[in-house]
Structure 1
Amino acid sequence: MYSKLTFVLLATVFATCLGAYTCRTGTVVNRPVNNQPYTFPINWDDNQTAPALAAGQDCSWVVTIPQGYYAKLIISGDLTDSVGYIQMVDTNGNVQKTKHENKNPYFFPSPKFTLIVDNQAAATFAFKVVWAPFPVGTSFEALVDLYAKVVDVTKEVFAGKLDCSNSCSMFSFPVDTISFFNLRSVLVFSGLGYNGTYLTSLYQMYKNPMQWIGPPTILYIVNLQASGADDKLLVQSSAFTSDIKLYEELNCIPSSTCTIPLNNGPGKSGLVYAGNQNQTLTDIFMDKTATLTVYYGSQTHFALYKTYQGSTIQKMLPLTFKGGFMTNYIISAGKSIFTFSLSG
């Protein structure tokens, strides 16, 4: 009887003989003096499909990034076995793990990131790293306190500084809520620039269903690749959001109807909207003893629009709220289900 290891070794040898690539653990990749891209395998072009990777590979690359530069990583790969994975770890320890990559780029700041591929069955895999300097200058500076800030966050390359001395809450509103790859190019730092402490990307932030609250400091935000898309970033002072236990973005396609449940218990829950469409509340489920308070802005008395009682709101539907404002829908307690129809 042959052991499982024997079969894996035989499969690896067979695949290698057919031209499949192998790799190793602990490869250190430094930016070349001539600033040429690094590729695996050598001479792979990202206009090509990924070549075969032999079965039974366990490989890693540590890619160093000089101060003042970022790295753009393009991966093409398909791992078909149940336990295989492609993993990236940035300098702040944020982990991204996938099985399939289709050349949508990732972006990493100094000083390094780690790329890992681990597969049992034969796969396809290739990648390319390009180094480039961070953009020079800042497009805007803003104090985030009583008033929130909405940013066109991926349309153009930019860098901006946000004074979040009381700490800030952030929500992204990508146009494509399924494949939100544009958000990978937006990096967030604590400090006055990219030499500060790297925190996360908007892509990582959006994958987490909870609101992101940063440290009480200046936040530096930089977008490294223009998408031309109308993706938005909403930044509020956490002084007006930290009491909301369950807080989600209302991000529905224009001219559509969407239903959003908030399965909250005791304490506040809410939705926040940051687009240009009118929002018509066509149906709502909420506790009769609870209230819905609508703000055209953050939770301040200046932005308060109206409070509705759970016992009577059904008789008032539909209710239309104007677009072009950041709008908060805050439930005082309990579970709720919102159904909105958005204008075109």
Structure 2
Amino acid sequence: EETIFLLCSILDIFPSSIQRHYDGVEDAIVLRLMSGKCNPSMLKKLGYCLALLPKSRGDEDGWVLMMQKIMLSINIQLNDAFQGLEKETIRTEAMRLLLPPGKDPPPPLGGQSLYRGTVDNTMRPEHLQISRISTLILCCCELLTSSYPFQVAIHVLPLIALAKRVLMVDGSSSPGIAYMTTMKQEFFCSELPVLHSHILDLLTSIVKGLGSQLLPHVGSIIRLLTNYIETSTLPELRIKVYAIMKVLLLSLGVGISTHLTDVIVNNSLMDLDERGTSFVAQQKIHPETTTKTSHKKRKHASTSSSLEEQPDKDVSEVEMSPNMASLSVKIAALEALEALLAVKCF
């Protein structure tokens, strides 16, 4: 941790001193990030350090290249994780936006670090996959919210495409798509709330980091949030959606309120209705699989290593007691309504 702290300090104060060693530093950071051997605190520090690295090049091109490499790495990991859970057209569309036809792909993130054998061999491949995706999303968030001494024009559509790709997966198998074993499907379904939570954090970073640059693309984000909140049942995820809508309203003002009024009012009324039964189902993200998944993971807990149990701990991070969940969703709904009224009455 001391080494990472020192490297971050150098990148903050003397960024140009790293320029000659840029590729080696990127390689070392990514190798550690992707190893599956770091605790959440260390992952966050490494993600922040990777986000600072473009400062050493001192121009927009370095930032854009880093973001593109991270997004493509996320997309590659999603290809494996979502096999059998999404339509091929969604995957193709995301790739088209990330790498337009005729454009040469950038070098892989961290050189060949992702493909080396220096990973935690005690960790199941599915667990390592989820850990990598979550960590790379965190890196995107850091890139979007960190300050740089140069102006950056952010390519928003590829980021929205990645967010859409994750949020549209609900755990159900796509007919006619490649076969996935029941156990693997159950595992990824149990991890979907974690991925959805991280992607909502990414959307939050996009909204906060872009400001007025977001205007040409705000319609796509609103449609994505509207569709998601209509099907989302986990309280912790609904809270994040309300928070994003609140930031959109306060950032972009009355012009955006027209498009958010119906979705905020309708969903707030549902969440504030004490007679509603929506919270009965809010511990499930996919009814057909969640019950079986939780049963199997408890059944095998005694034979799993502590590292293999880590993803279960990640899932619990987005869970609350029913009473606290209900209260927290109500507060988030009221805050979104308050922002809506403030903007409309201003």
Note whether the superposition's TM-score is higher than 0.5. Answer: no
**TM-score if structure 1 supplies the norm length?**
0.29
Q: Which has the higher helix share?
A: 2
**More RCO (CA 8 Å, sep 6+):** 2
Q: Which has the higher strand share?
A: 1
